[in-house]
Homo-oligomer: A and B are copies of this chain.
């Protein structure tokens, strides 16, 4: 089996990266992580990658002196050098620009800890608590030029429980993310995620759903 080559971009501890690494260790998983790139040298996720025998690259912004396009272009080049076909953002805290998106058209995935379009941006779990919602979740979407606005691939829901604080709710959402993201990546490299006229068309394998955590309607 030729496996699809994925580049994962991180800025921090990379627990979603770890979920993708664990999934890709399964012999039947159709994707392999070709490279992990961090914009922070101290990101724990780089260590996770090295421990798994995956090339781990620090790609800092400082030498680009604020030129975002140049940073993104160099990042795209780095990913291409590793034969990357799909890019997965896993806690990558930089906004991804055109230079990268044009190099991987509709092939950049992100996971967000809320049921988009509710609570885009930072601290989505705290936003949900402040809004008093009873249900929140996580969303895997294709990245476009906006912030958490791209076409939705799949979503999972969790309840907000009485007494939840930010860490408790975040942990519950994270367990969901760790199920959602490998599924989305598998579908991506299997060609099940396509964009036609700006609309994402997802064709799940038989018996698999576009949702997690929701009782079938």
Contacts and interface: CB of A to CB of B under 8 A. Distances in A.
A172 B216 CA distance: 10
A148 to B, nearest CB: 12
Please state the number of chain copies in the assembly: 2
Contact of A137 (B135, B152, B175, B210): B135
A159 interface: yes
Contact of A135 (B157, B159, B172): B157
A211 B151 contact: no
A117 B133 contact: yes
Contacts of A115: 115, 118, 133, 135
B159 A210 contact: yes
Contacts of A156: 135
Contacts of A155: 133-135
B117 A209 contact: no
A172 to B, nearest CB: 4
Given A115-B118, A117-B118, A118-B115, A210 B158 contact: no
Contacts of A215: 157, 213-215
Interface in A71-120: 115-118
A205 interface: no
Nearest to A128: B117
A152 B172 contact: no
Contacts of A157: 135, 157, 214-215
Q: Which of A132, A135, A152, A200 has the most CB of B within 10 A?
A: A135
A-B pairs with lowest CB-CB distance, top 3? A134-B155, A172-B217, A158-B217
